[in-house]
């Protein structure tokens, strides 16, 4: 089995950022200013797609990864499941 590498994290724009920016939950309510700040950092990141893939593959349900909130990633996962169910190739 091939081991996953996460070398891409060393090139991430958020590498030296405060993690609180990417986990903007205050009393179970997202902090929209921090979400916007996190998304702005992600927008210029050279490894944004790798980060998003990591979050989706690992079903991370908190924080901003790859420019998307947990809720946005959940919607992607739901669409993928629906797409798999309805558009799978015939055998």
Tell me the binding residues for [4Fe-4S] cluster.
Answer: 14, 42, 45, 51
In terms of Cα–Cα distance, which of 83, 77, 79, 24 is closest to 53?
77
Q: Output the six-digit token pair for 47.
A: 């490894």
Give 3-state DSSP helix, strand, coil % of the chain, rounded to 5.
55, 5, 40
Residue positions forming the annotated binding site:
14, 42, 45, 51
């Amino acid at each position: 089995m091939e081991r996953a590498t996460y070398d891409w994290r060393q090139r991430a724009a958020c590498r030296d950022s405060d993690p609180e920016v990417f986990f903007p939950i205050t009393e179970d309510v997202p902090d929209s200013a921090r979400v916007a700040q996190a998304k702005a950092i992600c927008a210029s990141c050279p490894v944004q797609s790798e980060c998003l893939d990591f979050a989706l593959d690992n079903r991370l349900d908190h924080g901003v990864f790859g420019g998307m909130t947990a809720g946005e990633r959940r919607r992607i996962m739901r669409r993928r499941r629906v797409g798999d169910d309805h558009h799978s190739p015939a055998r």
